[in-house]
Structure 1
C-alpha cells in the first residue's frame, strides 16, 4: 500500500506502508501524517492548502484530528466530505489505477524495488 499527497503544486513523497501493518491512528499519525506535514511545507510554504482525506478510521480518529488542529492544518471535515466525486478524489478515480498499470510493467521482486518504482513514477508527475 502507498500513501501520497497530490496537489496542483506537485505530489508529496510517496510513503510505502509496511507489509501487514495495522493502520491505527498511531501508525497513521507517526508513519504517514507527520512525514506528510514535513513534506507539504516544501509545496506550500505559506500553509495555504486544504487537506482532504477519506473516512478511514485512522483518518477520522481523535488523535489524527488533534494533530491536524495543533499543526494549524485546514482540512475537510468528515461531514463535508464528498464521497464518489472524481473531482474531489482524483487518487481514487485516476492515480492509483494509473500507477498500478505503470508499476506492473516492471519485474519487481522486493519492497525496496517497489518503493523505487513508485518514486520514479511520481517524478514524472508534472508540477504546476
Structure 2
C-alpha cells in the first residue's frame, strides 16, 4: 500500500471472531496485558461450561458484515460454511463496494488456515488475502493492529455489559443486543476506525514492529 493511499483501507475486509459470555465474565483466552516483562498473571474461572455466544463479524468501508453466530467452537469446516453461506453473499450484496477490489484479512486462528479455507479464499480473493499464509502476511499476536480487536469487540461489550441496566438472561436476548448494537455503529465511527488503523500502522513502523501502546 502506498503511504498516502488512505482510501485503500476502505477495500480491506477486516474479520475476526469473539466470545460473548451471557453475563460478561472475563475471558482470559483473549485478554491482552501489555508489558515488556512476563508478569505471570493468572485468572481463575468459576465454571467449566459457561453460557456464551461465539460471534463472527467483518468491517469493510462504511459497512459491518454480520454478526454471524457460530454453534460451538470454531473449526475449519464451520468457518468454511460461514464464508460460503454468509460472508461472501453478504459482501456481494453491499452497495458501493466492488467485490473484485476487496482484500480479505484474518488472523492466525487454526480454523482460518485449513486447506479448504485457504483454497476457497484464494479463489474468491485471488492475490488479495491478508493472513499468515496470504498474499500479504498478517503479523501474529497483533490485536493492537486489528480493528475488530482494538475497536469492535470492546465497543460492543461496553455497550452490552457496561451500561446496560437490564441484565441479559438468555442467549437469544444476547444475540438481539449484539445485532442492535452493531446496527447503531455509524459510518462516521467506522471512518474514525480506519484513520486509527492507519495511524497505528505508522506507530508500528516507528517501533520497528515492537510494542507501540505508549504512543497511542
TM-score, normalising length: structure 2: 0.52
Indicate conservation of the 8 Å contact 1:103/1:117, yes or no. Answer: yes
Q: CA RMSD in A?
A: 1.9
Q: Distance in 1 between matches of 2:57 and 2:99?
A: 20
Q: Report the counterpart of residue 32 of structure 2 in structure 1.
A: none
Q: For structure 2, list consecutive stretches of 5 or more residues without a partner in the other structure.
A: 1-53, 189-216
Q: For structure 1, list consecutive stretches of 5 or more residues without a partner in the other structure.
A: none
Indicate conservation of the 8 Å contact 1:10/1:125, yes or no. Answer: no
State which structure, 1 or 2, has the greater radius of gyration over its C-alpha atoms: 2
Q: CA deviation at 1:15?
A: 0.8
**Pick aligned residue for 1:36 from 87, 90, 103:** 87
Q: CA deviation at 1:46?
A: 3.7
Tell me which protein shows more helix as a share of its residues. 1
Indicate conservation of the 8 Å contact 1:54/1:81, yes or no. Answer: yes
Structure with more contact order per residue of length (Cα contacts < 8 Å, sep ≥ 6): 1
Q: Report the counterpart of residue 10 of structure 2 in structure 1.
A: none
Q: Report the counterpart of residue 186 of structure 2 in structure 1.
A: 126
Indicate conservation of the 8 Å contact 2:143/2:149, yes or no. Answer: no
Q: CA deviation at 1:5?
A: 0.6
Tell me which protein shows more strand as a share of its residues. 2
Q: Report the counterpart of residue 175 of structure 2 in structure 1.
A: 115
Indicate conservation of the 8 Å contact 1:6/1:12, yes or no. Answer: yes
Q: CA deviation at 1:22?
A: 2.9
Q: Distance in 2 between matches of 1:56 and 1:97?
A: 19
Q: Report the counterpart of residue 77 of structure 1 in structure 2.
A: 131
CA deviations on 1:71-118 (whole Å, 9 max, x unpaired) are 2452113151134263x4011112111111111124222222111111
Indicate conservation of the 8 Å contact 1:41/1:47, yes or no. Answer: no
Distance change in 2, residues 1:42/1:9 (3 Å): farther
TM-score, normalising length: structure 1: 0.85
Q: CA deviation at 1:50?
A: 0.6
Residues 1-128 of structure 1 mapped to structure 2, 5 A cutoff? 1-18=54-71, 21-30=72-81, 32-34=82-84, 35-43=86-94, 44-72=97-125, 74-78=128-132, 80-83=137-140, 84=142, 86=144, 88-104=145-161, 105=164, 106-127=166-187
Q: CA deviation at 1:47?
A: 2.8
